[in-house]
Amino acid sequence: MAKLKRISFSFVFCSEITDLGLKAILNLPNNNLHNLEEFKINFSGCKLITGESKNFVVHSSSAHTKLKTVSIDLARCSLITDKGIKTISNFIGVNFHTVQNLSLDLNSATTITDKGMTNLAKEVCTHFKNIERTALNFTGCTKITNEGAIQLCEIISKGLSNLNEFCIDVMYCPHVSRHTKPVLVEKLKTLPQALIKI
């Protein structure tokens, strides 16, 4: 196990998994997997995950140093809240701050609002100073608006000096207008590559 470089788990639509299970899986890279470079987990449709559990808050004294790629799929986790997004992203940031490639899928996480978007952006900018590529998927998040998308793009563009590629997906978000795309493009103009799906 200690020599593993890549791990991928899928728990799609496992209806009994809670925050405690999510935290246990997220903790795996810190359990003597010192050579791990890529970590992918899929909790899509696990409807008991909220991110708000007090057990989720961990202050790691020895963050994983080799992990370069993290992909977390929380699509259709309909109970994830704004506070939960902040807690989860903080947990990831504290433990995996060396990550260069980050993908977070929140497709159809319908309780997330603009506050959750900006919380996520701030946590990413606080912890992932080495990040080069990131993709954030908010497809079908019905409570986010133009303002949230604009604020997220502004925070990301100003806070991540090493970022080369950024993708934000806000398709099928009824309160995010296609007319907002030029504003988002303007906010991200300092980045070498930016993809906006709207």
Please say whether the beta carbons of 63 and 32 come within 8 A.
no
Domain span at residue 161 reads: 6-197
Domain membership of residue 40 (yes or no) is: yes
Summarised one tens digit per residue, pLDDT across range 26-80 is: 888 777 777 889 999 999 999 999 988 766 655 554 555 688 999 999 999 999 9
- Tell me how far apart the alpha carbons of residues 22 and 39 are, in angstroms, rounded to a whole number: 13
pTM of the model: 0.92
Q: What is the CATH number of the domain that holds 44?
A: 3.80.10.10
Tokens describing residue 184: 């988002």
Please say whether the beta carbons of 133 and 160 come within 8 A.
no
Domain membership of residue 95 (yes or no) is: yes
Domain membership of residue 1 (yes or no) is: no
Domain membership of residue 181 (yes or no) is: yes
Summarised one tens digit per residue, pLDDT across range 185-198 is: 999 999 999 999 99
Domain membership of residue 63 (yes or no) is: yes
Q: How many domains does the chain have?
A: 1
- Tell me how far apart the alpha carbons of residues 160 and 111 are, in angstroms, rounded to a whole number: 27
Summarised one tens digit per residue, pLDDT across range 144-168 is: 999 999 999 999 999 999 999 999 9
